[in-house]
Amino acid sequence: MKAIAVTPRQKDTVRLVEMDKPKVADIPNGRGVLVEVLRVGACGTDREINNGEYGVAPEGFDFLILGHENLGRVAEIGENVKEFAVGDFVVASVRRPGKSIYDLIGEQDMTTDDEYFERGISRLHGYMAEFYSESADWLVKIPPAIVEIAALLEPLSIIEKGISQAFETQERMKIWRPKTAAVFGTGTVGLLTALAFRLRNLEVHAFGKDKREGYFNADLLEEIGVTYDSTMEISTADSVKKYGEYDVIFECTGYSPIAFEAMQALNQNGVLILSSVTGGDRKIDQVPADKINQQFVLGNRLMFGTVNANRQHFEMGVKDLALSEAMYQGWLNKMLTHKVEGLENFGKLFDILNNAAANKAIKVYFEVNKI
Ligand code: BGC
């Protein structure tokens, strides 16, 4: 079967490889599911892996099959799989258990292992292939009514984790009813985050680099009642003068200095969620350290980082995809801007991914097989 691979830690090595078709029997205890891949989305992580910045090959391989944003159809099941049937649509989660206590209790998204296992990213092959086999334990069923938008479930799961952990952590407050949210970053994750906050009925303000005029992502945001401001035109401090301090802020720009501005835009008792994996070594001067520290202390403010997602976050995401269709029908589909048919056209996919702004691309994805 065809698959798309890279040599991790080397720049621009993305290529087509030929692999054996996986088997249900590759997975122990009759729990295997063979999945025919339908769609695989590409994101900044895939771009960085192909840039040689990130990614680890599985043991015994000098290449890594890419792809973690996935949607597939069950082709075959093992004898101990009762929860799926042939023909079901499924999305697989990304991280698999390592050794830490969190991994052992199914919370591998909270692993304390330094070496972690993520399909398509770290030590495990991904989903940019015609088929994959996986344990039923790591698959989530997709209702046919939302299959068209289900390739967005994996990125949405990251947001579901961040937001649900914010609410869990805010139980320190006994009562926490956030009213306003800010989203820094308006790429795929930013748009999905703004949506998730709207589904929870918050007033949402989104901020991105691009000028408002002609920016399709901003059109989408405004369609669901989210304001858009360009950080080129308004500072974070001025945005607070305009909208007030935010009860919850989700940072997903990929630009770490914004985190320090966001810290100063948080309301009392508010929570700042950081989700950008910033691989560089940028340093900034002029951080008003005393002021930020004092505001955090005197205002009981909270900041935490979040990565990956476990099964429950994917399941929350399924519900939010369905709710989104009920509230804003057709909106998510507009995020699927660029479809590339066939894995052999990987050059085209990476070209769009590497020049996303010029292509006005939000989500670029492979259609490996038709739904
Ligand atoms: C993926 C996550 C993963 C993270 C860090 C993201 O692009 O969506 O599942 O944990 O990268 O590798």
- What is the residue with the minimal CA distance to atom 10 of ligand 1? 308
Residue-range domain boundaries for the chain: 2-142+337-367, 157-305
Give distance in angstroms: CA of 205 to centre of ligand 1.
Answer: 25
> Cα 153 to chain center, whole Å?
8
The pLDDT tens digits for 7-34 are 999 999 999 999 999 999 999 999 999 9
The pLDDT score that the predictor gives to residue 148 is: 98
The pLDDT score that the predictor gives to residue 280 is: 86
CATH value of 2-142+337-367 in 3.30.1510.10, 1.10.3720.10, 3.90.180.10, 3.40.30.10: 3.90.180.10
Give distance in angstroms: CA of 232 to centre of ligand 1.
Answer: 28
- Mutational pocket test of ligand 1: of 54, 56, 68, 365, the residue with most ligand atoms within 8 Å of the beta carbon: 68
Cβ burial, residue 211 (10 Å; 0-12/13-18/19+)? exposed
State the chain's mean pLDDT as an integer.
97
Q: In whole angstroms, what is the distance from residue 272 CA to residue 250 CA?
A: 6
Supply the DSSP string of 291-304, one letter for each residue: HHHHHHHHTT-EEE
CA-277 nearest atom, ligand 1: 5
Query: What phi and psi, each to the nearest 5 degrees, are found at residue 209?
Result: -75, -40
Q: In whole angstroms, what is the distance from residue 142 CA to residue 93 CA?
A: 13
Q: What is the mean pLDDT of residues 295-314?
A: 98
Residue percentage of the chain with pLDDT more than 90: 99
In 3D space, the residue among 110, 121, 2, 40 whose CA is nearest the CA of residue 353 turns out to be 40
Long-range contacts of 209-214 (CB under 8 A, 24+ apart): 209/253, 210/186, 210/357
pLDDT at position 319 over 90: yes
The pLDDT score that the predictor gives to residue 277 is: 93
The pLDDT tens digits for 132-190 are 999 999 999 999 999 999 999 999 999 999 999 999 999 999 999 999 999 999 999 99
Q: What is the mean pLDDT of residues 54-83?
A: 98
Give distance in angstroms: CA of 208 to centre of ligand 1.
Answer: 21
Give distance in angstroms: CA of 92 to centre of ligand 1.
Answer: 13
- What is the residue with the minimal CA distance to atom 3 of ligand 1? 308
Helix (H, G, I), strand (E, B) or coil at 201: coil
Give distance in angstroms: CA of 305 to centre of ligand 1.
Answer: 13
pLDDT at position 279 over 90: no
Alpha helices in 248-371 (DSSP H): 257-263, 289-298, 311-327, 331-335, 346-354
Residue list, ligand 1 pocket, CB within 6 Å: 43, 45, 68, 94-95, 118, 121, 154, 158, 277, 307-308
CA-155 nearest atom, ligand 1: 8
The pLDDT tens digits for 179-216 are 999 999 999 999 999 999 999 999 999 999 999 999 99
Predicted TM-score (pTM) of the model is 0.97
Q: Please report which confidence band the pLDDT of residue 362 belongs to, taking 50, 70 and 90 as the band edges.
A: very high
Give distance in angstroms: CA of 308 to centre of ligand 1.
Answer: 5
Give distance in angstroms: CA of 121 to centre of ligand 1.
Answer: 8
Give distance in angstroms: CA of 290 to centre of ligand 1.
Answer: 33
CA-309 nearest atom, ligand 1: 9
Name residues whose C-beta falls within 8 Å of residue 21's C-beta, 6 or more positions apart in sequence: 1, 130, 131
Q: What angle do CA 249, 233, 285 make, to 5 degrees?
A: 65
The pLDDT tens digits for 93-134 are 999 999 999 999 999 999 999 999 999 999 999 999 999 999
Contact 184, 265 (CB under 8 A): no
Report the topology of domain 157-305: Rossmann fold (3.40.50)
CA-308 nearest atom, ligand 1: 10
Q: What is the mean pLDDT of residues 205-233?
A: 97
